[in-house]
Structures are given as structure tokens and as C-alpha cells.
Amino acid sequence: MIVDVIKTALSIVSIIPGISNIFDKWTKSYSIESVSKAIVSLAKSITGASTANGSFNKLSNNTELQIKLQELILKNESEIELSIINDKQNARLRDMEYVKNNRRNVRADVMVLSAALCMIFCLLIIVYCKNMPGEVLGIISTMAGIFGSCLKDAYSFEFGSSRGSKEKDITVASMLSKIRK
């Protein structure tokens, strides 16, 4: 059953321009099963079909329905982007309240300190354990990279986004405000 839903979702994605990037992005955060179910569910709502294959058949022969589905998926994507922007903003506002009240965000401090210590530990293992098999070295290097990425995210959160990312956030927020009107 789920294999059919995934196949149908991939078929739908293949006939609708610009959706493959969104599908790829969603599957990085969610399972392919849940993303496929969401795509098929949106397709069913647009086509009025009761089955996944029925929705694909109606979509494959109707450009107007394809455009409606594309618009619906793009609207969902923009709502997801807006919620991510709002979530980051709310977290930053929460941290500002800690500072105003002369308090520390202990949870965040522990997370950053843990990531830093784990990364340093991985690097020390790499430096001081010379006779490690290549596979183990690869795993530990990957772990060090993951902890480094955690630190990068913490710095991005703490000191703000890059200029390009800020411009993207402003553009997305502007587009979303136009859509909602």
C-alpha cells in the first residue's frame, strides 16, 4: 500500500514543474512515506479522486488541475517557511527575555557546551589514536563534523543569519504577506 502511495507521489511530482525541489526539501526533514501521503492527499483534494492512482490519472490529463496542485503545494511550502521564520524569531525573543531578566538559558548553554566538548573529544581521538582502522576514523570524523555543524547552527542563531539568508527571509516574508491578502 505505502509503496503505491510513494510511486504515485513520485509520478505526480514528475509531471508538475518545480515541485521536485520542494519534494526533495520535505524529504530531508520528514520520511518519504509522510511526504508522499501529503502530496497524494493534496492531489486527491484537488482532483476529487478517491484513490491515489485516480488522482494521478486526472492530473496527468488536466493542465488546469496540475496548476492548482502546484499552487497548493507552493502555498503549503510558503506557510512552512513562514512558520520556520516565526519559530526562529520566537526563540530569539525568548532568549532576549532571559537577558532582560538577568537569567541564563541553561538548556542552550548545555547544548552548545556539549557540542563543543564532543567535537573536541572526537578531534583528540583522531589526533592521538594513530592505529585506528579507516572505517573508525571515518565514523569519528563524521561525528566531529556533526558536532561542528551544531556549533555553526548555534552561532548562526546567536549572531543572526548571513546577509543572503536575511535577504531570503525578508523576501519570503514579503511574498507570504502578499499571499495572505
Q: Identify whether residues 13 and 78 lie together within a single domain.
A: yes
pLDDT per residue over 113-171, tens digit each? 999 999 999 999 999 998 889 999 999 999 999 999 999 988 877 776 555 556 666 66
Position with higher pLDDT, 59 vs 26: 59
Number of domains in the chain: 2
pLDDT per residue over 60-80, tens digit each? 888 898 888 888 888 877 777
Least confident of 80-89, 145-154, 169-178: 169-178
Q: With respect to residue 97, please indicate whether it lies within any of the assigned structural domains.
A: no
Query: Whole-angstrom Cα distance, residue 88 to residue 94?
Result: 10
pLDDT-based confidence at 180, cuts 50/70/90? low
pLDDT of residue 167: 62
Whether pLDDT at 83 is above 80: no
pLDDT of residue 162: 57
Query: Whole-angstrom Cα distance, residue 57 to residue 131?
Result: 59
pLDDT of residue 84: 66
Locate 46 and state its grid cell. 484537488
Q: Identify whether residues 31 and 75 lie together within a single domain.
A: yes
Per-residue pLDDT, averaged over 110-114, amounts to 92
Q: With respect to residue 33, please indicate whether it lies within any of the assigned structural domains.
A: yes
Each as own residue / partner, the long-range contacts of residues 163-172 (CB below 8 Å, 24 or more positions apart, any chain) are: 169/85, 172/78, 172/81, 172/82, 172/85
Q: In 3D, which of 71, 22, 21, 3 has the Cα closest to residue 43? A: 71
Q: Identify whether residues 48 and 110 lie together within a single domain.
A: no
In this prediction the pTM is 0.50
pLDDT of residue 156: 79
Locate 30 and state its grid cell. 520528514
Q: Identify whether residues 114 and 175 lie together within a single domain.
A: yes
Q: At what angle do helices 63-100 and 19-29 cross, to 10 degrees?
A: 40
pLDDT per residue over 22-57, tens digit each? 888 878 877 888 888 888 888 898 899 888 888 888
Q: With respect to residue 99, please indicate whether it lies within any of the assigned structural domains.
A: no
pLDDT of residue 133: 92
Q: Identify whether residues 8 and 76 lie together within a single domain.
A: yes
Position with higher pLDDT, 6 vs 157: 6
